[in-house]
């Protein structure tokens, strides 16, 4: 009887720690995700750091969706659809114009200046 009780206690401890671990992992995953979402009221901060009503509401809505079984990738896409890409601190890579525009302008200036000096 004593052995059975000990086994029962052991199982209880194992299941309890497993449950706590899973819950903590979910909380950590969400907290990490909040760090990638920009607070649109105090733009330099993430919603994890911000205490604005916007950030608090967004965290609650994300939590609700996450608890209902929606994965973070889908939630992220939904957020981008609603608020635009500026909501994310990790924008997509399709902003090639942003990166190559200064280079293009420099090349144009270079050729314009070169042509002018050649004339002279």
Binding site for other proteins (CB under 8 A): 40-41, 52-54, 57-58, 60-61, 64, 81-84, 97, 101, 104-105, 107-108, 111-112, 114-115, 118
CA separation for the pair 43, 99 (Å, rounded):
22
CA separation for the pair 101, 86 (Å, rounded):
20
- How near is the Cβ of 92 to other proteins at its closest, in Å? 12
- How near is the Cβ of 114 to other proteins at its closest, in Å? 8
CB of 3 or CB of 96, closer to other proteins = 96
CB of 73 or CB of 118, closer to other proteins = 118
Concatenating the DSSP letter of every residue in 58-113 gives HHHHHHHHHHTT--HHHHHHHHHHHH-GGGBSS--S--HHHHHHHHHHHHHHHHHH
User: 38 pairs with which residues across the strands?
Assistant: 46
CB of 7 or CB of 71, closer to other proteins = 71
- How near is the Cβ of 108 to other proteins at its closest, in Å? 4
- How near is the Cβ of 98 to other proteins at its closest, in Å? 9
CB of 17 or CB of 84, closer to other proteins = 84
């Amino acid at each position: 009887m004593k052995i059975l009780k000990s086994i029962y206690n052991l199982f209880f401890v194992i299941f309890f720690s497993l449950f706590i671990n899973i819950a903590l992992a979910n909380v950590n995953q969400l907290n990490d995700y909040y760090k990638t979402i920009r607070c649109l009221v105090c733009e330099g901060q993430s919603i994890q750091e911000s205490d604005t009503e916007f950030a608090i509401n967004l965290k609650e809505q994300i939590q609700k969706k996450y608890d209902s079984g929606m994965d973070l990738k889908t939630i992220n896409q939904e957020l981008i659809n609603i608020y635009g890409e500026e909501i994310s601190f990790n924008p997509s890579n399709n902003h090639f114009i942003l990166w190559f525009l200064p280079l293009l302008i420099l090349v144009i200036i270079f050729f314009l200046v070169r042509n002018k000096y050649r004339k002279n």
